[in-house]
Structure 1
C-alpha cells in the first residue's frame, strides 16, 4: 500500500492507495519539523491515523511537508519510519514540490503556496529550478495566513481597528495583550496561532472594507517581495494552493491584475492531484 501526504503547518491531507488502486482520504494536524520535535510528531500521527489503517501494511510513503528541507528531511524520514516500520521506501520532500506537481503535473510553470505559510517557485515540469526563500514566519511569509494574522493582532493591540471591529474581536476572542504576547513568544507553533485569526475577517460582524484592505496589503507585499522578484514572472500564469489563496481569491485576483499576471489554478487542497500524479508517474 502507498501513502501520500501533503502537510502544512496546520493540517495534513493524506491519501492511501491500496493494492487494487482504491483511494482513501483522511486528515490530521500539520507537521513542520522546524516547530515540533520528532517525539511529538510520532505520537500525533499514530493517534490520528484512522483506526482501520494497517500501519504494518504500508510499504511506500511520499510525504510532502512544510519545513522538509536540509537536515529536517532526515528528521521527517525518521518519524515516518517509526510510524510505518515495514515501509521499504520513505520520501520526505518540501511541500513546494507537491504544489508544483499537483498544480502543474509535468508542465513547466509558476507554483505557489498561500496557507499558514508562503512559498513560491519556477518548475520545469520535473523539478524546481528557481525558488526565492520566503524567510519563514518571523522574517517573511508575506501573504500567508500567519502574516495576515499578525496584521490583525497588531491592529488590535495598537487600537488601529475600526471601533466596531475592535469590539467584535474582543467579544469573540477574550484575549488581552498579555495572552497574545505569551502565545506568540512563549508557546510552540506561534505561526499556527496567528494564522487562526484569518477566519475572523470572514465573520459577518467584521467590516468588509477593513478586511479587504488588510488582506490586499498582505497580498501586495507577497507580490512585491517574492513573486515579482522572479525574472519574467509575467510570462507565467499564477498557480496556487492553500486555504488563504482560495478563500480570498477575489482579492488575490485584484492583486494579480495590479501586477499584470494571469490567474491559473487556485485550489484549496491538492491531495487528489498528488494521488493522480503518483499513479501516472
Structure 2
C-alpha cells in the first residue's frame, strides 16, 4: 500500500492506495516545517490518522508539503514521518512540485499555488526549473488566503472597512483590534489566523463590491510582483491549484486575461491528479 499526500500550511489531503488500487481519502492538519517542530508533526499524525489505518502495511509515502523547498526542511519532515511510517520508504517533495504535476502532468508550463500561501514556477514536465521566492506570509504571499486576510484585517484596524462589513465582522468573530494584534504578533501560526478571514471575504454579502475589490487587488499584486517576472510568461497558460484560486475563480480569470495569459487548469486540490501521476509512473 502507498500513501500520497498534498500538504498545505493549514491542512493535508492524503490518499491511501491499496494493493488492488482502491483509494481511501484521509485528512490531517498541515505540517509546514517552518512553523511546526518534528515532534509536533509526529504527535499530530499519531493522533489524527485513523485508528484502523494499517500503518505497518504501508510500504511507500509520497508527501508533498508547503515549506519543503530545501534539503533541510525536507529532512525535518522526513525524520518526523519516518517515526510514524516505520516500515515505509518516505519521500518528501515540495508542494510546488505537486501543483505542477497535478495541473500539467508531464507537460512543461507555468504552475502556481493560491491557498493559505502563494507559490509559482516554471516546470519542464518532470521538475521545477524556475521559482521566484514568494517571500512567505510576512514578506509576500501576494494573492493568497493569508494575504487577503491581512488586507481585510488591516482595513479593520485602520477603520477603512465599510460600516456594514465592520458590523458583520464583529458579529461573526467578536474580535477587538487588540485581539487581532495579539493573535498576529504573540501567538503561533499567525499565517493560519490571517488566512481564515478569506472565507469571510468569500461569504460576505453585506458589501460584495468591497470584497471583490479586496480579492482583485490581491491578485493584481500577485501578478505584478510574481507572475509577470517570469520570462515570456504570456507564452504559457495560467495553471493553478488551491482553494483561493478555485473559490475566487471569476475574479482570477479577469486578472489572468488583463495580464495577457490564457487560462489553463484551475483545481481546488491536487490529490486526485497526484495519485494518477504516481500510479502512471509505476506502470
TM-score of the pair, normalised by structure 2: 0.97
Instruction: Report how far residue 69 of structure 1 moved.
Output: 2.2
Residue deviations 1:22-49 (CA, integer Å, cap 9, x gap): 1111111111010011111111111111
Counterpart CA distance in 1 for 2:17 and 2:2 is 5
Counterpart CA distance in 2 for 1:263 and 1:53 is 39
Gaps of 5+ in 2: none
Instruction: Report how far residue 143 of structure 1 moved.
Output: 0.2
Counterpart CA distance in 2 for 1:279 and 1:170 is 48
Q: Which residue of 2 aligns with 1:271?
A: 271
Counterpart CA distance in 2 for 1:96 and 1:204 is 30
Counterpart CA distance in 2 for 1:181 and 1:58 is 44
Instruction: Report how far residue 204 of structure 1 moved.
Output: 4.6
Residue deviations 1:201-253 (CA, integer Å, cap 9, x gap): 13354310000000000000000000000010000000000000000000001
Instruction: Report how far residue 55 of structure 1 moved.
Output: 1.2
Counterpart CA distance in 2 for 1:177 and 1:38 is 33
Q: Which residue of 2 aligns with 1:206?
A: 206
3-state SS of the aligned residue for 2:25? strand
Counterpart CA distance in 2 for 1:203 and 1:279 is 37
* Native 8 Å contact 1:14 1:25 kept in 2: yes
Counterpart CA distance in 2 for 1:32 and 1:22 is 28
3-state SS of the aligned residue for 1:202? helix
Residue 49 of structure 2 is aligned to residue 78 of structure 1 = no
Residue 222 of structure 2 is aligned to residue 217 of structure 1 = no
Residue 192 of structure 2 is aligned to residue 192 of structure 1 = yes
Between 93-102 and 38-47, the greater mean CA deviation after superposition: 38-47
Gaps of 5+ in 1: none
3-state SS of the aligned residue for 2:209? helix
Counterpart CA distance in 1 for 2:184 and 2:221 is 22
Q: Which residue of 1 aligns with 2:180?
A: 180
| Runs of 4+ deviating beyond 2 Å | 202-206
Residue 66 of structure 2 is aligned to residue 58 of structure 1 = no
Q: Which residue of 1 aligns with 2:48?
A: 48
Instruction: Report how far residue 138 of structure 1 moved.
Output: 0.4
Cα RMSD, aligned residues only: 0.8
* Native 8 Å contact 2:156 2:177 kept in 1: no
Residue 251 of structure 2 is aligned to residue 254 of structure 1 = no
Q: Which residue of 1 aligns with 2:147?
A: 147
Instruction: Report how far residue 95 of structure 1 moved.
Output: 0.2
Q: Which residue of 1 aligns with 2:235?
A: 235
Residue deviations 1:181-201 (CA, integer Å, cap 9, x gap): 111111111101100001111
* Native 8 Å contact 1:200 1:206 kept in 2: no
3-state SS of the aligned residue for 2:83? helix
Q: Which residue of 2 aligns with 1:118?
A: 118
Residue deviations 1:98-133 (CA, integer Å, cap 9, x gap): 000111110001000000000000001011111100
Counterpart CA distance in 2 for 1:23 and 1:56 is 17
**Count of aligned positions:** 280
